[in-house]
Amino acid sequence: MPELPEVEVVRAGLAPAVDGAFVNGVEVLDERALTRHSGDGSHFEAELAGRTFGAPARRGKFLWIPLADAGEQAVVAHLGMSGQMLLREPGAPRERHERVRFDIRHPQHGELAVVFADQRTFGSLAVDQLVPTSDGAAGGYGTDRASVPTQVSHIARDPLDPAFDEGGFRRLVARKRSGIKRVLLDQGVVSGIGNIYADEALWAARIHPETVAATLSTRAVNRLVAEVRAVLQKALAEGGTSFDAQYVNVNGQAGYFAHSLNAYGRTGEPCARCGHAIVRVAFTNRSSHYCPHCQRLR
């Protein structure tokens, strides 16, 4: 599933193309892409045709594009397992798994098509209301407006958000009796971190994924936050993590962070730090990857 770096790469790629663009028309090809929308395909098309997009914003794994002429509405996107937001020339051939197409006209870049494609159909688009943020700070990365879509308002801020409350995060961790990896994946505690980057940050911080969160010292939590940020920022610099053709940026290009992974997907390979073999264990419906020597369960 795309995590924070992958969604941020998409947001940054969309920004110059959609900010200030007029929506000439919308075509819904598959209503399964509208599971979070309150109406059907015709309603979605009618809501957006003739509107103007603002600058896209992101919180965690959610992306939204405000409707600049609608005051308090936005198009919210969640990429799910395999969703893609692609920029194409007007009239470009259909993508293989195309679900929704926006035909837009930008005052500087002219006409473009924004395509939402999704192989597994777990992603979604919706027109949603914007509501004030609970802390009065900007809603997310890429915006200075203190508002967020209702569908995103329950999602915690992510570690790269300027308004991320590090002290509040430490206090939440100190109350959690579950393993620290479960805490990192809880989008109500901290957003944007999925299985890949949780494994990588825990490896970098030398913390076993099943360590009871409340037993971690303040120093250890601070180290973990620093490593989470470092991993996310490095992944951003490398365009995200691509294991197959399902995650690409808006131009259809893959990310390269998979080549920099130290734990995730490295089962049986020597740890880059100590040389012991990385192990893989079952974790809910997924897996955890860690070094049993460097990341001992205490």
State the binding site: 97, 120, 176
Give yes or no: 286 in active site.
yes
Answer yes or no: are the C-beta atoms of 290 and 126 closer than 8 Å. Answer: no
Per annotation, catalytic residue among 51, 58, 59, 61:
61
Tokens of 209: 């994924």
Per annotation, catalytic residue among 145, 223, 229, 286:
286
Give the residue among 10, 23, 115 at the shortest CA–CA distance from 64.
Answer: 10
Per annotation, catalytic residue among 3, 6, 8, 200:
3
Give yes or no: 61 in active site.
yes
- Residues belonging to the binding site for DNA are 97, 120, 176
Alpha-carbon distance of 138 to 24, in angstroms, equals 29
Answer yes or no: are the C-beta atoms of 113 and 21 closer than 8 Å. Answer: no
H or E element: which one contains 225?
Answer: helix 218-237
Alpha-carbon distance of 215 to 142, in angstroms, equals 35
Give yes or no: 223 in active site.
no
- Go through 117-133 and write b for each residue having 16 or more CB atoms within 10 A of its CB, e for each that does not: bbbebbbbbbbbbbeeb
How many degrees, rounded to 5, is the angle at CA 209 between CA 204 and CA 211?
Answer: 110
Give yes or no: 177 in active site.
no
Give the residue among 163, 160, 169 at the shortest CA–CA distance from 133.
Answer: 163
Annotated active-site positions, please?
A: 2-3, 61, 286
